[in-house]
Structure 1
């Protein structure tokens, strides 16, 4: 479906006429990028093999405030996942520990964690454009300097762009559970993903997953427990209580109100003989 309209476009209001929460709707010429100075639509292009992906890009309306943040801040705090190696110290402007967060939604919890722990850098990855803009806006409004927003496939980021032992943590909160059995292969937390993540995590790095989909929680527990590169931080094994540093999100609160059970898993990266490092 073409982005062009057959009827003349009405005069556009000046940028200052938009209310920060108002949705942005305007006609783009064919081939014109959605945000010329913002994240690219397909940063990796066709340079990498096709494979089953654990995420599904969603087209959602972007508010004026989110669009403004994408335009103003992407060049400074954004990263397109295009397969080129990245220097994390250069990206953040310091050599503090870096935690990778995969899938941050609208970014509220990410911003809270960044504010509570300014000594840790957070590299937050998602493909949801409104969420990218919202997190950039939150970081800007609250004066956060330890958040960078990455756009694209986290697998390509891990495999092609980050050096070994470069991460001090990995967070995967409420990933898509892909509940249908035929879609289970799309779930992110699989043995192959953990093989890759283990090569980029320093010994002692914390892997923290959370989900309100109990069958997926059980699968996460099984594959993490079975992997020789990770050890459960909870004595006796099993799920962990939600740690204080993970905020209770609005989405999570709605699920708890409906009787959903949220399970947290906290595992440490270990080193020992027989590990599946690459």
Structure 2
């Protein structure tokens, strides 16, 4: 990802890579295809404010990954529509959305420690109660802690575009991953993707169109099937700068059938 993107989490490893199966896995004596991951871990420094936020707010808002179903109502202390955000970067957009949609619950996955600390800091400063965070791979959270048709929607904003052609296989938005997401979304729920890199928007559109469980919500789709930006998604500082420079941003919103 380039420095302008807010979301430092990104794509799966190359699908052709293999590694020995871990002990205790089925057919543990055989090689297996490496599983999809929703991120590439980036280096970064956690500042003192973020470190304090971990100490002050982590016990309440951080969830621990464990390979068993999550009791969502207990985690949030209430029952409400459940949405997942994958790779929230420094958490600014996430905090905004949670505040303008207080009746929804948000499960947020990010492996970048400073980003998690930043969102915890925003939660504390703004008294946000409807966010819970996994500092863990979203794919494992989906597969082991959230059942199919358990989500009302999924947000993935500005994933790493992996500009070079030889790196396109590392992009997060690929057919198998989108199918996995679609199966976890309830009928009538949605998948909302956003990117500021047009070739990636074109790929996203192709992948989404090919997924039979999803249909485009845009009544009059724009370029690459894009929809108007929903009011709940704020403009990031990088997006604002890009718009002033004439760069495009593409929001793709597809509904689970």
Q: TM-score band, normalised by the shorter chain?
A: 0.7 to 0.9
Q: Deviations over 1:175-194 (max 9, x none)?
A: 01111222212211111012
Equivalent position of 2:113 in the other structure: 129
Equivalent position of 1:203 in the other structure: 187
State the Cα distance separating 1:255 from its structure 2 match.
2.4
Tell whether the 8 Å contact from 1:103 to 1:172 is kept in structure 2 after alignment.
Answer: yes
Q: Deviations over 1:49-101 (max 9, x none)?
A: 73454521112111111001112222211123343321211111111011100
Which residue of the other structure, out of 132, 141, 144, is the alignment partner of 1:157?
A: 141
Q: Deviations over 1:206-227 (max 9, x none)?
A: 1111000101101111111121
**What TM-score comes out, normalization by structure 2 length?**
0.83
Equivalent position of 2:129 in the other structure: 145
Equivalent position of 1:105 in the other structure: 89
Tell whether the 8 Å contact from 1:53 to 1:186 is kept in structure 2 after alignment.
Answer: no
How big is the alpha-carbon RMSD for the aligned residues of Structure 1 and Structure 2?
1.7
Mapped partners of 2:177, 2:164: distance in 1: 20
Q: Deviations over 1:84-124 (max 9, x none)?
A: 32121111111101110011111111111111110001111
Tell whether the 8 Å contact from 1:178 to 1:187 is kept in structure 2 after alignment.
Answer: yes
- Pair member with larger Rg: 1
Mapped partners of 1:79, 1:183: distance in 2: 32
Higher relative contact order (CA 8 A, sep 6+): 2
Shift of the 61–206 alpha-carbon distance from structure 1 to 2, 3 Å rule, reads same
Tell whether the 8 Å contact from 2:69 to 2:144 is kept in structure 1 after alignment.
Answer: yes
Mapped partners of 2:188, 2:36: distance in 1: 30
**What TM-score comes out, normalization by structure 1 length?**
0.77
Which residue of the other structure, out of 35, 53, 59, is the alignment partner of 2:43?
A: 59
User: Which runs of 5 or more residues in structure 2 are unaligned?
Assistant: 1-21, 26-31
User: Which runs of 5 or more residues in structure 1 are unaligned?
Assistant: 1-45, 271-278
Which residue of the other structure, out of 90, 97, 119, is the alignment partner of 2:103?
A: 119
Alignment of 1:24-103 (within 5 A): 50-51=34-35, 53-103=37-87
Mapped partners of 1:216, 1:121: distance in 2: 29
State the Cα distance separating 1:236 from its structure 2 match.
4.1
Tell whether the 8 Å contact from 1:81 to 1:153 is kept in structure 2 after alignment.
Answer: no
SS in 2 for 1:122: strand
Q: Deviations over 1:158-212 (max 9, x none)?
A: 1121012110010000001111222212211111012211221101111111000
Size of the alignment, in residue pairs?
225
